[in-house]
């Protein structure tokens, strides 16, 4: 029998991508529409960021999240909703005094998770990572990670442990061992993000082998390795993530005209490898969400 492989679609992200592709959704209505088209293409989960509708910049505005979530729910869709808590951990030191951030990029864990408490999605991302992230630092201290984990548990929301390198998996395992994450844990292997683990077969296998027994896990590769990681994850027993947050192109030099075409290609890869895209009902059972 074929194995159900969960496809998660990361709809828009927070990167500076809106100037590169006109297909990256910005408004709450467009983000919700992309979620529903991803579901029709085979996604069981949608990973949601929001953006300022006027500027396209990343936002933590709870009303923007509310509009996206309520539009999806009111449609009657059975999608599993995954809201980010990643916004609010960006640090770029001031040249004259490195104790100061040159941008308004850091907020308390409670502010990063307030929309999770209010809207109670099925899943929220939890970044287990302090690292260089492009030209800035992405700062998640163990205390802040633990506080978001506790907030999620009290809200009845399952954290998705986003790990970008081997040390992040070690810290995530410690957090799970301390009882802050209910079993079975859910890991997301984030590959090819500067300057984290590379999205090469060796990088992928090192990350996959470091995971604890019994964990559910998914993986994605940014950019050119997007679909190679779909194949690697499928054949090694994992689940997959695709979407315009991670990759803007359907093929070399050709922009993807929305998230659905990326989901459709992932679904074809999964099917060609003898498995099948999981329905939201199958995904809920696998992830113990019911």
- In angstroms, the CA 195 to CA 171 distance is 18
Q: State the pLDDT at residue 250.
A: 97
Q: State the pLDDT at residue 133.
A: 85
Query: Parallel, antiparallel, or unpaired for β 136-138 and 90-91?
Result: antiparallel
Q: State the pLDDT at residue 105.
A: 87
Which structure tokens are listed for 164?
């970008």
Please give the domain boundaries of the chain with CATH numbers for all domains. 4-287 (3.20.20.70)
Which helix (H) or strand (E) segment holds residue 190: the answer is strand 186-191
Which helix (H) or strand (E) segment holds residue 39: the answer is helix 28-41
Q: State the pLDDT at residue 256.
A: 98
∠ CA 277-34-2, nearest 5°, is: 0
Max intra-chain CA distance, the chain: 62
Which structure tokens are listed for 134?
């492009």
- In angstroms, the CA 184 to CA 7 distance is 18
- In angstroms, the CA 83 to CA 52 distance is 16
Which structure tokens are listed for 136?
């800035």
pTM: 0.96
Closest to 13 measured CA to CA, from 1, 23, 3, 2: 23
Kindly report the number of other CB atoms within 10 A of residue 154's CB atom.
Answer: 10
Compute the Cα dihedral for 207, 208, 209, 211 and give only its sign: positive
Beta strands in 19-83 (DSSP E): 45-48, 50-51, 58-59, 80-83
Kindly report the number of other CB atoms within 10 A of residue 57's CB atom.
Answer: 11
pLDDT tens, residue order, the chain (290 aa): 899 999 999 999 999 999 999 999 999 999 999 999 999 999 999 999 999 999 999 999 999 999 999 999 999 999 999 999 999 999 999 999 999 999 888 899 999 999 999 999 999 999 998 999 878 899 999 999 999 999 999 999 999 999 999 999 999 999 999 999 999 999 999 999 999 999 999 999 999 999 999 999 999 999 999 999 999 999 999 999 999 999 999 999 999 999 999 999 999 999 999 999 999 999 999 999 97
């Amino acid at each position: 029998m074929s194995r159900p492989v969960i496809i998660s679609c990361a709809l828009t992200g927070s990167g500076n991508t809106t100037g590169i592709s006109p297909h990256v959704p910005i408004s709450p209505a467009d983000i919700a529409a992309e979620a529903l088209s991803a579901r029709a293409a085979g996604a069981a989960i949608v990973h949601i960021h929001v953006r300022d509708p006027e500027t396209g910049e990343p936002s933590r505005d709870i009303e923007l999240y509310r509009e996206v979530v309520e539009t999806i729910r009111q449609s009657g869709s059975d999608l599993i909703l995954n809201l980010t808590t990643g916004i609010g951990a960006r640090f770029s030191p001031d040249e004259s005094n490195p104790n100061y951030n040159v941008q308004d990029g850091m907020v308390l864990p409670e502010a990063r998770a307030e929309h999770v408490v209010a809207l109670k999605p099925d899943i929220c991302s939890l970044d287990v990572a302090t690292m260089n992230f492009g030209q800035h630092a992405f700062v998640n201290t163990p205390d802040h990670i633990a506080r978001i984990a506790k907030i999620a548990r009290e809200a009845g929301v399952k954290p998705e442990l986003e790990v970008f390198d081997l040390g992040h998996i070690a810290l995530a395992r410690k957090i799970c061992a301390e009882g802050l994450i209910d079993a079975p844990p859910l890991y997301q292997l984030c590959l090819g993000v500067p300057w984290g683990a590379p999205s090469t077969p060796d990088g992928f296998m090192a990350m996959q082998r470091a995971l604890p027994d019994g964990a559910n896990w998914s993986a994605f590769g940014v950019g050119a390795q997007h679909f190679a990681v779909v194949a690697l994850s499928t054949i090694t027993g994992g689940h997959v993530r695709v979407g315009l947050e991670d990759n803007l192109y359907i093929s070399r030099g050709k922009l993807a005209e929305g998230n659905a075409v990326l989901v459709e290609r992932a679904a074809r890869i999964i099917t060609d490898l003898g498995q099948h895209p999981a329905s939201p009902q199958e995904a809920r059972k696998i992830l113990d969400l019911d």
